[in-house]
Amino acid sequence: MLPRTPAKGMRDFLPTDFAFRQQVLNIIQKTYESYGFSRIETPAVENIQLLTSKQGGDNEKLIFKILKRGEKLQNATTDLCDLGLRYDLTVPLARFYSNNQGQLPAVFKAIQMDNVWRADRPQRGRFRQFVQCDIDIIGEPTNLAETELITATMNALSNLGFNDAKVRISDRRLLNALAECCGFTDEQKPAIFIALDKLDKIGVTGVMEEVEQIAPGKAVDFVNMLNRINSAPNPFAKCVEELGDFLPPAVRQNLEEILYVTNNSVKNGKVVFDVTLVRGMGYYTGTIYEISLEGLGSAVGGGGRYDKMIGKIIGTDVPACGFSIGFERIVLLMQERGITFEKNKGIAVLVDKNLDKKSLVDVMDACRQMRKTHNVTIINRIKNLGYQLKQLAEQGIDEIYEYKNGAFNKIN
């Protein structure tokens, strides 16, 4: 017997699930289009060199790799794979931009809503094939990019019924200033940031222990500084004060402007500075942000500026900035919060399974007219009519006719 379940960690979507997901995607797309973004698409499969170029951090460990084929496989010695499934939409976007730059506007605003694949250990709410919704602005060096990305994302969430969103924001260059200010060496910094990134999971004590191991004697001062900043009435102003000359003025001004503009433009939530924000991906070069919803620990989306990624493909850096929504998380939350869409109603026409061919033509002609405005299914009547009507009702079909002796009689 052949397998009947989907591959491990992957899912079948039944008509009701599919319709719900498609409506959510549609709302997100329409919102982003209203901000001047346009959808593009890249293949699910990319060359393995692109996927294993150290852009993707830990996600590169989770790649589904595709075996070479034919002669190439027979001649392969160490590298059995030449392709892989994409683990995110940002690395493929950088390749897409590099490949099509000549045909794209100077400031390119892209929407991507597509599947990505990660060979992660499946668990509740985490799947091996899942949809990400990304917007990116390529070619815009100023923080107009960040403000547009943040307001568009907040607006999309609002249009989906979420009016309690919070964006936490920081900057990789501020993190660097913080590390310098606390006296960490360049060698220690990456490990310090990895430790800080785990704050959600391991708590302040956990971070302090890890930092102490990396840079003995410096953990207490570091954590105390974080505490002073976070507990201040205005954490950003306090951070600026603490970091003093370590913080480049351009970085300070950038964050200040983004905080001001977004907080005065966004109507369904707030944007706050968070000195503890790190974000895992190695490719960020400036602003970083995450979005969360009231009462939920972990983020439902995030992004930042990655001005150096395209340069690794075309040799010249191009400013780039993005914001990704975790679509699966959003769908789950909408279902938990009882957010629904109006269902597509339908009509069913029951016919006798021995209906003569001339009568069937009559039925088809009548349905052709109805189908201009309604969804109409023609099905053979079964003996247990009660059961059949119940099944049809479950499919959202609320008008049922029976064709008999040349007439359509409504029977529900």
Size of the site for its own copies (CB under 8 A): 103
Task: Give me the DSSP letters along 349-384.
Answer: EEE-TT--HHHHHHHHHHHHHHTTTS-EEEEEPPS-
- Taking CB under 8 A as the criterion, the residue among 314, 332, 389, 411 binding its own copies is 314
DSSP 342: -
Q: What is the DSSP letter of 122?
A: P
Q: Which of 2, 71, 316, 336 binds its own copies (CB under 8 A)?
A: 2
Residues paired with residue 399 on neighbouring β-strands, in sequence order = 347
Looking at 20, 87, 117, 401, which residue binds its own copies (CB under 8 A)? 117
What part of residues 257-296 is at the interface with its own copies (CB under 8 A)? 257, 260-261, 264-265, 267
Distance CA 350, CA 359 (A): 13
Q: Return the residues of window 197-226 that contact its own copies according to CB under 8 A.
A: none
- Does 3 engage in binding with its own copies (CB under 8 A)? yes
Q: Which residues on adjacent β-strands are paired with residue 400? A: 348
Q: Count CB-CB contacts under 10 A for residue 43.
A: 11
**Residue 353 binding its own copies, by CB under 8 A:** yes
Residue 330 is inside which H or E element, if any?
Answer: helix 327-336
Q: How far is the CB of 381 from its own copies (least distance, A)?
A: 11
Q: Closest by alpha carbon to 258, among 366, 159, 108, 142?
A: 142
User: Is 39:29 a contact under the CB 8 Å cutoff?
Assistant: yes
Q: Which tokens in the block code for residue 328?
A: 């699966």
Cβ atoms of 305 and 319 closer than 8 Å:
yes
Nearer CB in complex with its own copies: 124/383: 383
Q: How far is the CB of 285 from its own copies (least distance, A)?
A: 17
Nearer to its own copies, 40 or 178 (CB): 40
The least CB distance from residue 357 to its own copies, in Å, is 5
- 388 φ/ψ angles, rounded to the nearest 5 degrees: -65, -45
The footprint of its own copies on residues 13-72 (CB under 8 A) is 13-15, 18-19, 22, 33-36, 38-47, 49-50, 53, 64-67, 69
Give the rounded distance of the alpha carbon of 107 from its chain centre. 22
User: What is the Cα–Cα distance from 394 to 94, expressed in whole angstroms?
Assistant: 45
119 in contact with its own copies (CB under 8 A): yes
**Of 144-152, 181-189, 199-207, 280-288, which segment contacts its own copies by CB under 8 A?**
144-152
Please say whether the dihedral angle defined by the alpha carbons of residues 357, 346, 393 and 328, taken in this order, is positive or negative.
positive
- For its own copies, which stretch binds (CB under 8 A), given 8-16, 180-188, 272-280, 317-325? 8-16
Which of 194, 250, 382, 385 is in the footprint of its own copies by CB under 8 A? 382
Q: Between 319 and 326, name the residue whose CB sits nearer to its own copies.
A: 319
Q: CB under 8 A: which stretch of 107-115, 181-189, 211-219, 284-292 binds its own copies?
A: 107-115
- Residue with Cβ nearer its own copies (5 or 231): 5
Among 183, 371, 385, 412, binds its own copies (CB under 8 A): 371
Question: Shortest gap between Cβ of 266 and its own copies (angstroms)?
Answer: 9
Interface with its own copies by CB under 8 A: which range of 2-10, 176-184, 226-234, 402-410?
2-10
For the CB of residue 174, give the shortest distance to its own copies in the complex, in Å: 19
Is 103 among the residues that bind its own copies (CB under 8 A)? yes
Q: Rounded to whole angstroms, how far apart are CA atoms 86 and 116?
A: 6
Report H helices in 119-188.
144-159, 172-181
Please, which of residues 383-412 interact with its own copies by CB under 8 A?
A: 388, 391-392, 394-395
Answer for the pair 48, 84: CB distance below 8 angstroms, yes or no: yes
Binding to its own copies in span 147-186, by CB under 8 A: 147-148, 151, 155
Q: Is 237 in the site for its own copies (CB under 8 A)?
A: no
Three-state secondary structure call for residue 126: strand
